Structure 1
Amino acid sequence: MKTRFFIGLLFILLQVGSMVYARFIPERFFCWAPYDTHVNFEVFVTIDGKTLTPKATEARYRYKMKGWEQRSIDNIFLLISRYESTFGKADNAQVLMVYSINGHEEKEWRFKHE
C-alpha cells in the first residue's frame, strides 16, 4: 500500500514539476496552460538563389509553413533550426520567417548558420 502511494505521489510531483518548468521555456511543449499566443506566419527558403515553393518548403520541414499557429512561435523556430543544423546543413539555405504575434506588428526571423 505504501509503495503505491509513493509511486502515485512521485507521478503527481513529476507532473507539477514539468508544468512549472514548461512555463519558463519558450517552446512550452509540455505546458498544460491554455495557449495564450496566436501567430500568423509564413516561411521562405532560398537555396542556391532559388526560392522554394510553399509545397517544397512544407515537404522540407514536414510541417505547415504558412498560416496560423496556436502555440509559441519558438516551436517553429526550433523545428527549422534543428533541420538546418543537421539534415539541411550542406544546403546552406537562407530561411526567412515573417510572423505576427496576437495581431501585433510583423517581425522577421532568419536562421543563422553557425
Structure 2
Amino acid sequence: MKTRFFFGIIFLLLQVGGIAYARFVPERFFCWAPYDSHTLFETLVTIDGKTLTQQEAEARYKYKMRGWEQRSIDNVFSLISQYEDTYGKDDNAKVTVKYSTNGHPEKEWTYKR
C-alpha cells in the first residue's frame, strides 16, 4: 500500500515539474502545459532565388506553413531549423516567418545558418 502511495506522489510531482519546466522554455513538445498562445503566421521560403508556393513549402517541411498555430510559434521555428540544418543544408534556403502572437504587432523570424 505504501509503495503505491509513494509512486502516486512521485507521478504527481513529475507532472507539476513538467508544467513548471514548460513555463520557462520556448518549445513545449513533451510538457503537459496549457497552450496559452495563438499565433497567426505565414512562411516564405526561397531556394536559389525561386520562392516556393505554400504547397511546396508544406511538402518540404511536412507541416502547415500558414494559418493559426495554437502552440508556441517556437515549435515552427524549431521544425524549420531542424530541417534546414540536416536535409536542406545544401539548398541555400532563405526562410522567413511573419507572425503575430495573441494579436500583438507582427514580428519576423528568419532562419540563420
TM-score by length of 2: 0.91
**Separation in 2, partners of 1:101, 1:14:** 29
Name the structure 2 match of 1:49: 49
Identity of aligned residues (%): 66
SS in 2 for 1:103: coil
Displacement of 1:82: 0.9
Whether 1:70 and 2:60 are equivalent positions in the alignment is no
Partner of 2:33: 32
Distance, in Å, in 2 between the alignment partners of 1:61 and 1:17 is: 32
Q: Which runs of 5+ in 1 are unaligned?
A: none
Task: Trace 1:96-107 onto structure 2 (pairs within 5 A).
Answer: 96-107=96-107
Residues 40-77 of structure 1 deviation map (CA, whole Å, 9 limit, x = unaligned): 11001111111111101001111100011111111111
SS in 1 for 2:64: coil
Say which SS state the counterpart of residue 25 (structure 1) adopts.
Answer: coil
Instruction: Give secondary structure in 1 for the equivalent of 2:33.
Output: coil
Q: If the length of structure 1 is used for normalisation, what is the TM-score?
A: 0.91
Give the 4+ runs in structure 1 shifted more than 6 A.
none
RMSD, matched Cα = 1.2
